[in-house]
A and B are shown apart, each in its own frame.
Chain A
Amino acid sequence: MTEIETRSGGSAGAGTGAASASIALDEAANAIPIGRRRSWLGEFIVRSPMSAFWGLVVFAMVLMAVFADVLAPHPPLKPNFRMMTKPPSELHYFGTDQIGRDTLSRVIHGSRTSLTVAFAAVLLGTTLGALWGLMSGFFGGRFDIVSQRILEFMQSFPDLILAMAIAMALGAGTWTVIVAIAITRIPFGGRVIRSVVLSLKEMPFVEAARGLGASNARLMFRHILPQCIAPYLILATTHLGVAIVIEASLGFLGVGIPPPTPTWGNMLSDALNSGLVPPWWLVLFPGLAITITVLAFNLLGDGIRDQLDPRLRRSV
Chain B
Amino acid sequence: MDSSGNGLNALQRELATAPVAPTVLIVEDDPALRTLLMRLLREEGFQPLSAAHGGEMARVLETNTVDIILLDVMMPGSNGFQLCRSLRKESDVPIVMLSARDDESDRLIGLELGADDYIGKPFSKKELIARIRAILRRTQGGAQASQPRGAQQMVFAGWQLDPGRRELLSPDGAFVDLSGAEFDLLLAFLSSPQRVIGRERLLEMSRARISDASDRSIDVLVSRLRRKLAVSGQAESLLRTVRGIGYIFTAQVERR
Task: Tell me if chain B binds chain A.
Answer: no
Residues of B participating in the A interface, judged by any CB pair closer than 8 Å: none
Residues of A participating in the B interface, judged by any CB pair closer than 8 Å: none
